[in-house]
Every structure is written in C-alpha cells, then in structure tokens.
Structure 1
Amino acid sequence: MTGPSPYRPRHGTPAAALLVIGDVVTDVVALHRSPLAAHTDTAARIALRPGGAGGNVACWAARRGARVRLLARVGADWAAWHEEALRAARVEPALRVDAEAATAVVIALVDAAAERTLVTDSGAAVRLGPDDWDEALLDGTGHVHLSGYLFFSAPGRELAAVVAKAARARGLALSVDPASAGFLRELGTARFLDAVSGTDLLLPNAAEACLLAGRAEPADAAEELSVHCGATVVVTLGADGALVAAGGRVTARVPGLPRRAVDSTGAGDAFTGALLAARLTGADLPAAVAAGCAAGAEAVTVVGGRPAAGGRWDADGR
C-alpha cells in the first residue's frame, strides 16, 4: 500500500442512499460437474435466481447496510417476482415494466471449477433509456452507480449521459462497472471509454481492464486507465484480491480471501456493492476495497449472483 487514492464520495453520509442504474435479469444457473457433452445430456443441478449486474450490486450494497434504490427495466412476465425479491433484500425498486419485451434471461453454465459461461437474452434490459429517468431518484442520494450493460445499447448510453450530467450538477460521485469483456469488444473500447469520460470510479475486472487499456498486465492497465479516464480505477483480480490506481500509479493492493468456490456468478457485483456501501458509510478506499473482497469471497460460496435474504444459499442451489 503506497498511498491514498484521491477518490472521495462527494455527499456520502451514513444517511445518503446509493442509486444503482442497470439491469435486472432472471438467471438460470446450471452447475455441471462434468464437461458439457455435445449432442447428448449433461447432468446438472439447475436453479432459478433473480440476478442482473444492477440488481446484484444493489442487493449486496443493501446487505452491507446501505440505503439503496435501483432503476431497471423488466418485462411484465417476471416484474412482480423481481420486485418482491428486491424488496426482500431491502432494496427500493424503481422498476419500469415493459409491455412489449420480456425480462432479460441469462443462462449461467457453471463448471466444476466454479467458472461460468453466460448465454444472454437481454430482453427488456436493453430498452432502459432516458424516458425511464426521474431526477427525483437523486433526492437523498450520495453516490450513483451505472452498470456497464447500460453502455451496450443506444437507449442505455443516452440514459447514462443524462444521469451523469444530473449527478454532476448535484456534486455526486459516479462509478461505472464495465460489466462484460465480450460486449466491450462488440461496442469498441474507444467508444466505451469516451462514454464513461468524467467517471469518478471505474471498476473493471482484470480482463476488462487489460482489454480497455490494451495492456497485458492488470496493474499496467489500471495505471493507464486512471490517466486516460481521469478516474480512480479499482481492478478486481478474482481470488487474488484487487488493486487501486490513481494518477497513473498503483496506490493500494488488497489481498483476496480464500474460499471454496461453488459459483463465481456475481462475485464482481458483490465486490462493487460492498465497496460502495462501505464508502457511503465513511470507510477509506483501501478499507472499502477490503470489504469488497470479503463480499466477493462470500459470493462464490453461494449459487447465483445475490446474497440470500437473511442467510446463505446452499451449494446445491436450494
């Protein structure tokens, strides 16, 4: 640890809320302990879970004691189920119900090493746009977090620009999680970096950071991104923890916590939610990153991307 980061929540107080804007998804999680067999059956334990990067971040932040509200778009098919799940997790949902598109669905194929492959139908999530915005959502807010999935659709990018402008007008700090290396390649890294210009806190994983910076090493990528974006950059390193860069240099390294991994789905979202909750309640950035690492370690021990309401989910997904 070589020094503090300049990133500070601008209006963060214990009473201030975290506003998350992103996706809510119906997750179908299939845990298969043998390799997928082509042209026949592969045995798996299959669980249905509420998910989505935006929803997951919100729930993990609420688990860590933050007041959280979430703006997302869902289809009428699963709207009631998702609203109930969010309220049970102590998240205030601002769900826009789409009369035409179904709720987003992700099939997560999780292997014996707890690594997941995602098959995604973005559904109503990619239709979240400026018409869904209500500036009253910023009332009482101390920090705004944008899920990177917003930036992979035209309406989402428009909404992100509107929200960023409104947040800056109120002096609120803004964070972005790039979300998906695959979707970043499709969009183009230059286009994404231009869209997130002015962000206070960028939260990529190692693969996303290296892709965005065009560097092979996460530390080098973090340093470059901190200069290019003018942001504090926190890169998650899986079981190895996380590192922080600001002003072109690594300012902190936080080790991971060893856990027996069951499902890595949502571990990055858990990290983000816990980090932001800790910052809103006054933790310095290294301590907040440590809280994020602890949440990420907890997340890999349960099935799906969210904490269970009031307890753990078991490794069999029940």
Structure 2
Amino acid sequence: MNRGGLLVVGEVVTDVVVRHGAAPAHGTDTPARITTTPGGSGANVACWAARSGCADVRLLARAGADSAAWHREALVRAGVRPLLPVDGTAATGTVVALVDASAERTFLTDSGAVLRLAPEDWSPALLRGAARLHLSGYLLFGPVSRRTASIALREARRRGVAVSVDPASAGFLSGMGAGPFLDLVEGVDLLLPNADEAVELTGLPDPADAAAKLSRHVAKVAVTLGDRGVVLAAGGTVTARLPAVPVPAPVDSTGAGDAFTGAFLAALLAGADEVAAAEAGCRAGAEAVATVGARPA
C-alpha cells in the first residue's frame, strides 16, 4: 500500500531519438530511424513511478509555450499530475539521443526552459501529502534552477520529507565540479548516480568503491551499472549487489536509469526495503531498454 505521494522537481524535454547502425558519416547522409517523444529525466522518473503503482505523482518543471500542452497531455495520460509553468521566452528543452547498434545512447542537449525553473515557480504547498521529494540533478547545473532546487530541498528537510537526488549527467558534473555538487546534496536520504556519475563524483575507478564513499556523504546510495545491475551502499559500506534483468534484444537505453529510479522510489513508498526496491528498479530498467524512448510503452 502506498504510504504517501511523490513530488518530482525536474524537467520536461522533447527527445529526438536517432537510431543508427553505422557510425554517422561526416559530411554526408547516414540512414537512421528517428522518433520524437516526450522526455526529460524528471518527467521520465515521474511516469515510471506512476506506472509502478504510485498513485500520487506530481511533477514540477518549466516548459516552453511551443510544446507545454503536448507535454502536459502526455504526463496526464501517464498518470502524473503536471505542474508546468510556461516560459514565454525560452522553448522547451530538446535532447537529441544518438543510439548506436548496441542500444547505447549519446546525448546532444539544449536545456531551453529547463534551467529557468524559478523560485517563484516553487511553493511549499507542493509538498502537501508528499512522502518523498525527488530532485533531478539537471536543475543544479544552472544558477536559477539551482536556487529553486535548493529552496525545495531545504523545505523538504524542514518538513521531514525524504529527499532523493539523481546527479543526471557525468558530462555536466565534470563542468560543475564534484565538490560544489556534493555540497548541495550533502545529507540527502538517497543519491542515485549511474556508474560514470559515481566515478566523476569520487575520482574512484570502481563504482562499488565510489558508492561506498558517497554513502559517507549522504544516507544511502544506489549506483546503476547498466547491464551489470546495481550496487547499494550505506554508512560507507556496500550493502548489496544485484544483477540486471537480461534483455535479449536491447533497442534503446535512453531513460533506463530513470525507469530504475521511478520504480525504485515507488517501491520504497509502498514499504519495500532497498533490495526489493532495487529489484523492481532493475525490472523497469530492462523494460525501458527494450522499447524506443524513455517513457513506459
């Protein structure tokens, strides 16, 4: 039984998923299959949490006037309550996901309205009925959205609401620096990096060692390892290692980490322990890899 709602503070973006076989040929054409879908790490997490049984999922994110209605409708269909301030100046963020024959994705990102989520878009009333606040780390990479995320984090702590954070991008973390990021998230209940992000945050080459180190900075850590599963850590120690669910024919890894996070958080809210929640997350991640796009089919 669900023990409370989930408030996600993050982003919506428009994903352009480009699946190509051969590497793109410079200066000429390369055959590809191209799909445009709603995306955004925060929005994806919200949709997977709703798909995984969380009955009260809300998303706060800023969208451009160009596609706000489309994104709002997609979220409603997925069972998410959208709270989308509309930006009259910047377009909705866009991500081009280049997906190779192994289903690995590489992103080209135009943040657009994402990093313009402003303190006036936030209200403490958004936390009513929420048992957990989940922050997309993308918001920490811009000064305006970083202030908004920090305000939300402080208010959640003041109210005793659990907080989880997804670091979001090893590339953007490299530009920001590990120290400033860790200062912002110090003491949160749960950090959910992938292997590259965990290594970037700690400088340790082994993601398990990185998970253990990060869990001395925050309460608990779940490091996703793609087709190698997930490592859980708490109190400076690795507490569990779980295998990935095999995917016979992976299609697109875009959003697999978001699927893990959404299902993981939904299971925690339903009363599962971290191991059972991680098992649910791995199942959702496998489902995501078998479909095109970052949302539940």
Shared topology, TM-score over 0.5? yes
Q: Which residue of 2 aligns with 1:272?
A: 261
Is 2:140 aligned against 1:151? yes
1:212-233: CA deviations, max 9, x gaps? 0110100110111111x13201
Among candidates 58, 69, 73, match of residue 69 of structure 1: 58
Q: Which residue of 2 aligns with 1:107?
A: 96
Q: Which runs of 5+ in 1 are unaligned?
A: 1-12, 309-318
Q: Distance in 1 between matches of 2:146 and 2:70?
A: 27
TM-score, scaled relative to structure 1:
0.92
Note if contact 1:224-1:248 (Cα within 8 Å) is conserved in structure 2.
Answer: yes
Q: Distance in 2 between matches of 1:14 and 1:245?
A: 24
Secondary structure (helix, strand or coil) at the match of 1:307 reads: coil
Q: Which residue of 1 aligns with 2:209?
A: 220
Q: Which residue of 2 aligns with 1:195?
A: 184
1:175-228: CA deviations, max 9, x gaps? 00000000001111111011111211000001100110110100110111111x
Size of the alignment, in residue pairs?
295
Q: Which residue of 2 aligns with 1:36?
A: 24
Note if contact 1:244-1:251 (Cα within 8 Å) is conserved in structure 2.
Answer: yes
Is 2:282 aligned against 1:286? no
Q: Which residue of 1 aligns with 2:34?
A: 46
Among candidates 114, 123, 138, match of residue 127 of structure 2: 138
Among candidates 1, 9, 14, match of residue 26 of structure 1: 14
Note if contact 1:26-1:105 (Cα within 8 Å) is conserved in structure 2.
Answer: yes
Letter in 2 for 1:50: P
Is 2:291 aligned against 1:307? no
Q: Which residue of 1 aligns with 2:46?
A: 58
Is 2:214 aligned against 1:231? no
Q: Which residue of 2 aligns with 1:3?
A: none
Letter in 2 for 1:268: G
Q: Which residue of 2 aligns with 1:247?
A: 235
Question: CA RMSD of the aligned region, Å?
Answer: 0.8
Note if contact 1:157-1:195 (Cα within 8 Å) is conserved in structure 2.
Answer: no
Letter in 2 for 1:146: L
Q: Distance in 2 between matches of 1:166 and 1:216?
A: 35
Q: Distance in 2 between matches of 1:174 and 1:15?
A: 15
Is 2:279 aligned against 1:295? no
Q: CA deviation at 1:49?
A: 0.2
Secondary structure (helix, strand or coil) at the match of 2:187 reads: coil
Higher RCO (CA-CA < 8 Å; seq separation 6+): 1
Q: CA deviation at 1:15?
A: 4.7
List, as ranges, runs of 4+ consecutive aligned residues in structure 1 with deviation greater than 3 Å.
none
Note if contact 1:222-1:234 (Cα within 8 Å) is conserved in structure 2.
Answer: yes
Q: Distance in 2 between matches of 1:116 and 1:57?
A: 18
TM-score, scaled relative to structure 2:
0.98
Q: Distance in 2 between matches of 1:231 and 1:179?
A: 19
Q: Distance in 2 between matches of 1:157 and 1:134?
A: 15
Q: Distance in 2 between matches of 1:151 and 1:262?
A: 30
